[in-house]
Structure 1
């Protein structure tokens, strides 16, 4: 019985380690705590690196819909640290490019705390208006 339970938890343990690695590399978790964020998170490949452009800057994204219900976001420096720890390959880079070509749209405004309804902002201890950033 115990082994069956342990086997059932094993996939989540690997995902949890990936999340720890992302945080150590400099990625920040942004919770999909609104309908719009949840919809965008689900456009990303689950538990795989992707990116979206924010102006002329690529923001690297790692969606985790099951464990944390969040999207980890990082810059190129965070991505480089993550790749060096995970021995990234040119194939992964090509997969990210193919994925963004399939789903080019991304609405950064929904990741702004200003986009949250007042109830969500209150849950995070944020003022009910005037908060900038994503």
Structure 2
């Protein structure tokens, strides 16, 4: 695990942008972001994570800190970006955090460099996203705990809801997220898989009905 303490400031006046201070030579990831009021005591924080290094980064986590009028920390949350940040590239993030203080500070809390196995996993997950699977990031302790119970990990598992079959792919290790798709989207994945034998093996396995899955990770576009 590589920890990176790169603290960045952003004032909150309507929607206000934050930008990285000049980074030292050893810095590898940095953030640019905007903060806007989201109502109901929340702030929306969105922007880009940049990878200035020559290796792909995974398990990227941001620390988002609410500041008072004097610039002192009030509260902070750690939020998983979910997507890999390819070398020399950037990834968009968008989240809501509690509090609507005078300003916010965003930092790259930690990240890992990607192994060959993780790259294979990312290739599979990119295919799922391309075919229309819904991606859900485990952005709460409850979701993360439930994600650990969805086995087998990184395999497509068929789950039933109201007589319909949906396919669930749980990844508690790399993206800390799950992907859910319909039978038609699953067929699209199978077709693409035949075109690329390097994709990680997928498993068609019918499992039990899991009411927690459908309620905890809601909303869904199908019901």
1:55-66 equivalences under 5 Å are: 55-66=162-173
Q: Which runs of 4+ in 1 moved over 6 A?
A: none
CA separation of 1:59 and 1:40: change in aligned 2, threshold 3 A: farther
Residue 124 of structure 2 is matched in structure 1 by: 18
Q: Which runs of 5+ in 2 are unaligned?
A: 1-113, 195-201
Q: Which runs of 5+ in 1 are unaligned?
A: 1-7, 113-132
The CA RMSD over aligned residues, in Å, is: 2.0
More strand by share: 2
TM-score in terms of structure 2 length: 0.40
Measured after TM superposition, the shift of residue 22 of structure 1 is 0.7
| Corresponding pairs, count | 98
Match for residue 86 of structure 1 among 184, 193, 209: 193
Q: Which whole-Å CA distance do the structure 2 matches of 1:49 and 1:105 have between them?
A: 15
Q: Which has the higher contact order (CA 8 A, sep 6+)?
A: 1
The reply on whether 1:30 has 2:136 as its aligned counterpart is yes
Match for residue 180 of structure 2 among 69, 73, 78: 73
More helix by share: 1
Q: Which has the larger radius of gyration?
A: 2
Contact 1:52–1:106, Cα closer than 8 Å, also in 2 = no
